[in-house]
Each structure stands twice: as structure tokens, then as C-alpha cells.
Structure 1
């Protein structure tokens, strides 16, 4: 083989690998691969789970009941980090606005991007033993809301920026210490926060990777929030596809995820293996990246940007949505031992549970819309998640188990769930 032939084959292989990476980063791939596992489970092949689709109507009715309780007029906001900042009926983000006086509209949104990105990356499950006492309100908060408010207060105090302003910049994130994060989150031996080291590592890696993608995060004073400028440049006629936001997040943040699968040196992120999958055996989810995407849409709307293609993104395969499906019998567990032990995120049990959740969320959403007589434009998936399945999953968990823990326990390092 001469050099030209070898080089051509090498180039073809590299192009093929790049195409696989692009595919695995797409919502289309998430639905296709999860759909394969869903069909495989429904055909009775799984030792772990079965699906009982006769329960779909019951689950939809439960979700609608929760929606009508939370949002009687069906005016449902997006499922995003911004909802958690409002816990207890406190308009915390409005209290941030005075600190942003004098900034241009785009710079204000950049600050909100900084907040959302940092806060979402700190949002993996806190465990049922941790809480945050908010001095400003006297509220004691746990789980996602507690994590949100703790990160919000740290942000407002300038803990993520060298200039101590409500921002986040690459160099301060790189220098953040575990002691600082623990102090900000009031975490200690008596108030343990699951995965605090993993959370710190994510933020430190965030600080490093945004320097390496200046076209996304800025050539001078790189910040997560500078992503807004890139996205504005991608908009056409004041419209921006939701998948464009996800693409930018997956491109810019893929290297922050620890110990993950790689193709051609590219960190795949929230992508896992399962032997029932054809071809390469890989199942993508990109849960935190999609959660982050949902959380960046509202600030973009503040700039007059219309978000298109919302339902191209998938439902979030995490333990509240997945727990709803288990607790109401849509997913049945074949082996009771699954309930008695905790499982690695990479285990076939968790991969199957998450894949089923993605597909079932689409089915639940379609059933909810049908029962309410609403279209996907009127009630997109991101609103059903908020209204919705996530809230319903938490509600049924609280009714069934002390502390509202999920039905299946996951070994979390603070970087996935």
C-alpha cells in the first residue's frame, strides 16, 4: 500500500468517526437507540424490565391532575433551571437584576447564561440527607431546589468570577476549591452532599475547556455566558433552532465529563453501552446537556429570539421521570433485587431504565395532549416535563417512600443524575 492510499483510508476512517460522533450527539440518535431498547424490552428480551402500555392512560391522567394543580390555566413555563430559582414563591432572579444595571441586553443575558450553566452542572442528585438553609428567606431547601438556590447565592456573591461580580469566568472556575464549594453549599459531615468532588471537577474542567473553544466562549476573558454571542450569530430572522443550542453545548462542553467513552479522541459524554443495540452498541442520552439547553432558551427569548423545533429535543431520562413510569406501573421490574441495591450509571439496568423513560415520555406527552385536546405547539414536551412528569414523579415518590427517594437507586458521582 502506497502512502497516498494509506492516507486516503486514514482520512475516510476519520471522516467516518466524525460522522458517528455527530450522529451520537443528535436527538435523533437518542430516540433511535432508545427506541431499539424499548422494542427489545417490549418483545420480552430484558431480564430486568417489561413495559405495560395499558397503564399509559392512567399515567397521563395522573400527570394531568398534577398539571391542573400546579398550573390551573395550563399556562406552563419551560422545564428549566429557572423554575428552581423561584422555589418558595421567591423571585430571586428579579433580585439579581439590580446587580446587572448598566449592562447591555446581551451582556445581561450573558450573565444569566453564566448562572444557568454553572448551576445546571451542579444539579446532579444531592441525596436525601443534604439541605440548604437560605439566610435571606429562612427556607430550608433540599435536592434540586436547594442546589439551585445555593448556586444562585454563590453566583450573586461573585464566587465564580475573578472580579467578584455576578459572572463566571474561566480562570476563577479553574481555581475553585472543594472547601469553597462545600462552604457555599453548607456541606459537611453532618450535612453530606452526594458527589461534591465530582461537582467541583466539572466546574474546574468547565473553566479549562471554555478556554479551548474561543469561537464559542470568547477570545478575551472567556466565560460560559459568551455562548450567547455565538448563538445570536447562528440565528436567522430572530429565529434559532433548539438543536443549535444543544449542538453548541455538546461541542463546547463534551470534554468536562469524566471517564466516558471516546471515539477518535472525542469524549462522548452521556453515552453508554448496551449489548442489545445494533452496530456500535452505544446509547446516547445527554440528559444534563439537554437540561442545560432547556435552561438557556428563556434568556434567549428575552432578546427577542424565537426558539423553533422544541420537540426535537427529548424528555430527560432521570430518576423523577423514570421513577414515575416505575411507580405507576408503566415500567415493571422483573427482578425485585433491582429495588434492593444501587446501580452504576453504566449498568445495563440503568441504561435500560433511562432508554425506556425517553420513549415513554414521548408516549405520555402524546396521550396528555390528546386528553387535553392540545397540539404539540400549544403543549410542547418541555412544558409537559415541567407541568408535568417531573413534578408527578416527585409527588408519587413522596407518597410511596420515606424521603421521596426514587424507586431504583443509582450510584451517583454528581455528573449524570
Structure 2
């Protein structure tokens, strides 16, 4: 019997290109079948979208930089300022929760964080106060600021109605 993957291995896999491709293929197949619940795909316009994205890349990057364009993901937003906050969060759970629970918690965090990011605009900011590691306040805007704000709220248990399971999003408690 193969042992269950560790939390680190599971997270590494979920961050990997094969994992993203597998999930994207599943969504694409459902779209082709017309089985998406919340939106439809206009397949006739996909070529136009691809051309638009390529034009943005060419506008913003030199040809030599194209292979090194970093992926734009919520997980990278949590790591703004070169701090691996997700690793720190997982370390805080070590020995208290198993791999599956860690993955559940991370999915809760990422989903609520992305949903809160929708439509916040470009004026919203989040200030990270000084602590024993960071000596000065820093202000973050846009997706990075929203990621850090949602992470702080998640760590405080603001998305959970259960004080014994504060690191979850259960939809029963308002974050405000």
C-alpha cells in the first residue's frame, strides 16, 4: 500500500503545471458539453482572446524574457515581499492536522481570497503592521493586498463559525 503524500508533496503537486492542466481540462470538457453552472464559453472567440493575451505579453516583455514570465496565481500573491506565508501557515498546523485537512484549509483560503478579490478596484490597500521580523509598515494594493488581508482574516478565524475550527471557511459567518 502506498503511503499518503505529505502536505508538502500535496501542495507542490497542486502548484504544479500538470495539476493546473488536469483541472483546466476537466473544466474545458464540461464547457464543451455545456455543463458549466455559472458561465458559458464562447468558443468562437477563443482565438481573439489568445491574440489579445499574446499582444499583452509582447507589449510588457522582451522576447528573451518570455520563458521566464512568472505565473499569475493567488499563491504567488500570498508570497509578496519574498515571504513564503503559506509554508509558514502549514508549519503552524504541523502535528495537529493531517495532509487532507491541510489541503482542505488551503482550498478554503484560496477560494475565499479569490472571491474577495473580485471587483475591489485599484484604490483599495492593506497595511501590514511592523512585527519582530518586519520592522516597518508596508502597504500593498490590488491582488497582493487582498491576498494578505484575506490571509490575515483566515488566520484570525473570521470566515469560520466554529471557534474550535477557526482555519476554515464555512459560509455561516460574515467576515465583517
TM-score bucket (shorter structure): 0.5 to 0.7
Offset at residue 140 of structure 1 (A): 0.2
**Is 1:87 equivalent to 2:80 in the alignment?**
yes
Offset at residue 130 of structure 1 (A): 1.9
**Rounded Cα–Cα distance in structure 2 between residues aligned with 1:128 and 1:75:** 23
Partner of 2:156: 157
Greater RCO, CA 8 A, separation 6+? 1
Distance 1:141 1:20, change over 3 A: closer
**Rounded Cα–Cα distance in structure 2 between residues aligned with 1:22 and 1:57:** 27
Offset at residue 64 of structure 1 (A): 3.7
Partner of 1:42: none
Offset at residue 67 of structure 1 (A): 8.2
Partner of 1:97: 90
Q: Name the one with the larger helix percent.
A: 1
8 Å contact kept, 1:24–1:30: no
8 Å contact kept, 1:157–1:165: no
Report the RMSD for the aligned CA atoms in angstroms. 3.6
8 Å contact kept, 2:159–2:173: no
Distance 1:121 1:57, change over 3 A: closer
Partner of 2:34: 23
8 Å contact kept, 2:112–2:169: no
Distance 1:32 1:89, change over 3 A: same
Could you tell me which of 59, 74, 82 is aligned with 2:68?
74
**Rounded Cα–Cα distance in structure 2 between residues aligned with 1:75 and 1:126:** 25
Partner of 1:140: 139
Secondary structure of the 2:34 match is: helix
Distance 1:57 1:116, change over 3 A: closer
Offset at residue 21 of structure 1 (A): 10
Partner of 2:12: none
Deviations 1:275-304 (A, max 9, x none): xxxxxxxxxxxxxxxxxxxxxxxxxxxxxx
Secondary structure of the 1:140 match is: strand
Aligned counterparts, 1:239-258, within 5 A: none
Aligned counterparts, 1:352-391, within 5 A: none
8 Å contact kept, 1:156–1:165: no
Could you tell me which of 102, 106, 118 is aligned with 1:108?
102
What TM-score comes out, normalization by structure 2 length? 0.61
Secondary structure of the 2:62 match is: helix
**Rounded Cα–Cα distance in structure 2 between residues aligned with 1:56 and 1:93:** 29
Deviations 1:339-396 (A, max 9, x none): xxxxxxxxxxxxxxxxxxxxxxxxxxxxxxxxxxxxxxxxxxxxxxxxxxxxxxxxxx
8 Å contact kept, 1:131–1:142: yes
Q: In terms of Rg, which structure is larger?
A: 1
**Rounded Cα–Cα distance in structure 1 between residues aligned with 2:53 and 2:166:** 45
Question: How many pairs align?
Answer: 136
Aligned counterparts, 1:221-236, within 5 A: none
Distance 1:81 1:56, change over 3 A: closer
8 Å contact kept, 2:154–2:167: yes
8 Å contact kept, 1:99–1:166: no
**Rounded Cα–Cα distance in structure 2 between residues aligned with 1:160 and 1:61:** 40
8 Å contact kept, 1:81–1:148: yes
Distance 1:115 1:59, change over 3 A: closer
**Rounded Cα–Cα distance in structure 1 between residues aligned with 2:115 and 2:125:** 18
Secondary structure of the 1:158 match is: coil
Q: Return 5+ residue gaps in structure 2 as ranges.
A: 1-29
**Rounded Cα–Cα distance in structure 1 between residues aligned with 2:99 and 2:33:** 33
Offset at residue 57 of structure 1 (A): 7.5
